[in-house]
Amino acid sequence: MTDSSYAMAATGPGGPEVLARIQTTLAAPEFGEVQIEHRAIGVNFIDCYFRSGLYPWPEPERLIPGAEAAGVISAVGPGVSGWKAGDRVAYTLPNNAYASARNIAAAHVVRLPDGISFETAASVMLKGLTTRYLVKDSFALRPGQQVLFHAAAGGVGLLAGQWMKAMGVHPVGTAGGPEKCALARSHGFAEMIDYRAGDFRAAARQLVPEGFHVVYDSVGKDTLLASLKCLRLHGTLVNFGQSSGAVSDFRIADLAAGSFHLTRPVLFHFTSDRKWLERAADELFGLILDGRIAVQTQSEPLTSAAKVHADLEGRRTTGSTVLIP
């Protein structure tokens, strides 16, 4: 038992202020589990969806948010092979990561190569693996295809811009404000549209009059219908989030305007396939180690989780933020 562990938790849905430090007692890992001492924990929009109550609470009485982290294995449960105390690891899985330590099924854990720091791993496990399925699985991008990617200066956005550039794609991005646009340009985006300054659809049409092969939209309510109108015939809309709120006014008939394809993917449906997880993590770490993806991260103490949520929801962040226990 570890009695000195702690977590950031909420007892009911609400704003960032519902997150408070609690003392936790960690039991020995059960069958198939490893115990991990966290060194860095990634912050993601999905943490806000759970905290606010947009997504149903996994446990009725308490929520510990957090869906990606990196650290060191401190104990190995029965039935686990291939892992030992001291191994450097990372994982992505919804909830329970905002903690100094936790137990988790070994099937979710990947090994960190030398040269990948805990901060980097905790910045990319969820966002980088999301990028992987976006550019290879949800839509198999080919060099030269036309791409529009919303929230390009965000955590997923900065990784996606660089991954697409490495694939020979020159994407157009959107972001709120000139500074975010400049940052996204330096992370793989060939052209940027400041969608706070005006109608992004008109600007996108001007840049790519024939329309885009694919639009990646994680903003949701504020952008989705206009995103559909940016596609070329038979184009694909990948809606993978709702940072501005849930989409409520979409009708299937909207796809008839161009025989469009629509998909609404979720990372954890990909990572539940162990082979996919290992291959995708290898690719991601490889791109970072050979310098084709640079990871932009800021660190805050784990106890500052509420402030970090407020900044993320207030559109004040760029790139990834990690919490340090």
Ligand X SMILES: NC(=O)c1ccc[n+]([C@@H]2O[C@H](COP(=O)([O-])OP(=O)(O)OC[C@H]3O[C@@H](n4cnc5c(N)ncnc54)[C@H](OP(=O)(O)O)[C@@H]3O)[C@@H](O)[C@H]2O)c1
Which residues in this chain contact ligand X in the complex, by CB under 6 A? 44-46, 126-127, 130, 151, 153-157, 175-176, 180, 218-219, 222, 240-244, 265-267, 312-313, 315, 317
- Least Cα distance to 294 among 165, 207, 181, 191 occurs for 165
Q: Which is nearer to ligand X, 165 or 196 (CB)?
A: 196
For residues 269 and 280, give the distance between their C-alpha atoms in angstroms, rounded to a whole number: 13
The minimum distance between CB 294 and ligand X, in angstroms, equals 16
Q: Which is nearer to ligand X, 235 or 241 (CB)?
A: 241
Q: Which is nearer to ligand X, 244 or 303 (CB)?
A: 244
217 forms beta bridges with 239
The minimum distance between CB 82 and ligand X, in angstroms, equals 27
N-term to C-term CA, the chain: 18
The minimum distance between CB 152 and ligand X, in angstroms, equals 7
Q: Which is nearer to ligand X, 166 or 266 (CB)?
A: 266
The minimum distance between CB 270 and ligand X, in angstroms, equals 8
- When CB distances to ligand X are compared, the closest residue is 154
The minimum distance between CB 83 and ligand X, in angstroms, equals 26
261 forms beta bridges with 236
**Close Cβ partners of 187 (under 8 Å, ≥ 6 residues apart):** 152, 153, 157, 158, 159, 161, 162, 294, 296
Q: Which is nearer to ligand X, 5 or 320 (CB)?
A: 320
Phi, psi of 323 (to 5 degrees): -105, 135
Q: Which residue in the block uniquely carries the two structure tokens 């490495």?
A: 166
For residues 91 and 203, give the distance between their C-alpha atoms in angstroms, rounded to a whole number: 39
